[in-house]
Amino acid sequence: MDFLLAALRATAEPTRLRLLALCAEGDLTVSELTAILGQSQPRVSRHLKLLCEAGLLDRFPEGQWVFHRLKAEYEPGGALARALVARVPVDDSTIVLDRARRRDVTERRRAQAAEYFRTHAGEWDQIRALHVPEAEVEQALLAEVGGTAVEDLLDVGTGTGRMLELFGPRSRRGIGVDLSPEMLT
């Protein structure tokens, strides 16, 4: 009962309900949410903190960014968050505007990522080596697979195709997919 009451209190505020609705559509950073809502970063961060403490949102760092998303569907907070979002009127003018701004923000993120990979495709192996000890990662992956043959290998976000090279000898067929044509050349 305490969990339910805390979660309902956390969502009983328009901005926090809007945040839940936005995060239901995918992961967003604080700066992206600030741009969408047109509110200050401290205010948005405070609302996000309350939603995380109530068990409705997850906060997870990725590189220099911190993303927020709904708790997993199988978790009590995730199921409740989805049930609440399902009751938000989709034709509400504020929600419609939030969704339009969200599309703009995520399109900008996609375009920035595409430009980054287009610009750095030729030096990708060197860039990757700066962040992760490549040999250690490859050895760990090979150890995880062991001597098992891989029937079909799908490498999503293949980049330079290094995983296809690494596991190719163990695979009957390998397919690499990447959004950046420059990465594939």
Instruction: Write down the pLDDT at residue 44.
Output: 97
- The C-alpha angle 137, 139, 145, rounded to 5 degrees, equals 105
Q: How many CB atoms lie within 10 A of CB 121?
A: 18
What is the arithmetic mean of pLDDT over 62-85? 91
| Per-residue pLDDT tens over the stretch 122-136 | 676 666 666 677 778
Say whether pLDDT at 31 is over 90: yes
pTM score of the predicted model: 0.69
* Per-residue confidence band for 148, with pLDDT thresholds at 50, 70 and 90: confident
Report the C-alpha gap between 31 and 9 in whole angstroms. Answer: 25
Place of tokens 């596991």: 167
* Per-residue confidence band for 176, with pLDDT thresholds at 50, 70 and 90: confident
8 A C-beta contact, residue 158 and residue 164: yes
